[in-house]
Structure 1
Amino acid sequence: MSLRDMASRWPMVLYAATWTLLLIVTVAVASFSPEIAFITAISPSSAFSKSCAAEGFVRIPLDYPREAMCFPAHTVRRSGLDFFVPTVFAALVVAGSALVVRSLALRGG
């Protein structure tokens, strides 16, 4: 492949890279925001978690608004999978999106 061929394809490569980056950022925000909200809600400094009557308990929100249960703090902790699961999920969604776009023959330019 010559330098002229590479230069003529540069706008398409930039276009593809831009959309790929946009997909990655969108999926990352969508997959990490619920985890961040949950960790913020159960952190010891949160006003939500301080509403348990007993010391050493953490309040966990339920699916219904304003409903929660208190659990011992030692049972609620971060796992090593908390980072990898959303990251793998994001990668799978981006790959799936790329396959859908390819199958629909949607091309830029």
Structure 2
Amino acid sequence: MPHLPFFHSILRAVASRWPLVLYAATWTLLLTMTVAVAAFSPEMAFVTAISPSSAFSKSCAGEGFVRIPLEYPREAMCFPAHMVRRSGLDFFVPTVFAALVVAGSALVVRSLALGVGGGGG
């Protein structure tokens, strides 16, 4: 096992900086959860509003139609149900967006020297 000393040195470095690692992990988790809630809340609200069991979607004229809300309050259009369905991108796009926002916010925190041992002074 020729790589064992390399891993041992990495473990020793991480153990010596355990408070910093814990601090970074805590902020990363907090940022990730915040972005996840912000990214998935509008999608969940939209899916709930157009679900067949929703009172909002039941106001369409006929069976087999789905009511889609528009930008303005109390305005909507009815579409045939076969035109409104889940896409493979419905999970992928918000997840990538959340990852980009977390990475961007981590870079902002780093650039502002808000971390432990960050700015001089």
Q: Same fold (TM over 0.5)?
A: yes
Distance verdict in 2 for CA 1:79–1:11, change over 3 Å = same
- Identify the residue that residue 102 of structure 1 maps to in structure 2: 110
Give how far 1:23 is off.
Answer: 0.3
SS at match of 1:69: strand
Task: Mark the runs of 5 or more structure 1 residues left unpaired by the alignment.
Answer: none
| Structure 1 CA distance for aligned equivalents of residues 14 and 45 of structure 2 | 45
Q: Is residue 19 of structure 1 aligned with residue 27 of structure 2? A: yes
| Structure 2 CA distance for aligned equivalents of residues 41 and 12 of structure 1 | 44
Aligned match for 1:90, one of 98, 108, 113: 98
1:52-76 deviation per Cα after TM superposition (whole angstroms, max 9, x unaligned)? 0111110001111111110110000
Task: Mark the runs of 5 or more structure 2 residues left unpaired by the alignment.
Answer: 1-8
| Structure 2 CA distance for aligned equivalents of residues 3 and 87 of structure 1 | 31
Counterpart amino acid of 1:95? A
| Structure 2 CA distance for aligned equivalents of residues 3 and 89 of structure 1 | 32
Matched pairs, number: 109
Aligned match for 2:59, one of 34, 51, 67: 51
Distance verdict in 2 for CA 1:6–1:55, change over 3 Å = closer
Moved more, 7-16 or 28-37: 7-16
CA RMSD of superposed structures (Å): 1.6
1:68-89 deviation per Cα after TM superposition (whole angstroms, max 9, x unaligned)? 1101100001100000000000
Aligned match for 2:50, one of 16, 37, 42: 42
What percent of counterpart residues are identical? 86
| Structure 1 CA distance for aligned equivalents of residues 10 and 54 of structure 2 | 59
Counterpart amino acid of 1:100? V
Give how far 1:7 is off.
Answer: 3.4
| Structure 1 CA distance for aligned equivalents of residues 10 and 47 of structure 2 | 52
| Structure 1 CA distance for aligned equivalents of residues 77 and 88 of structure 2 | 24
Counterpart amino acid of 1:102? R
Whichever of the two has the greater Rg, that structure is 2
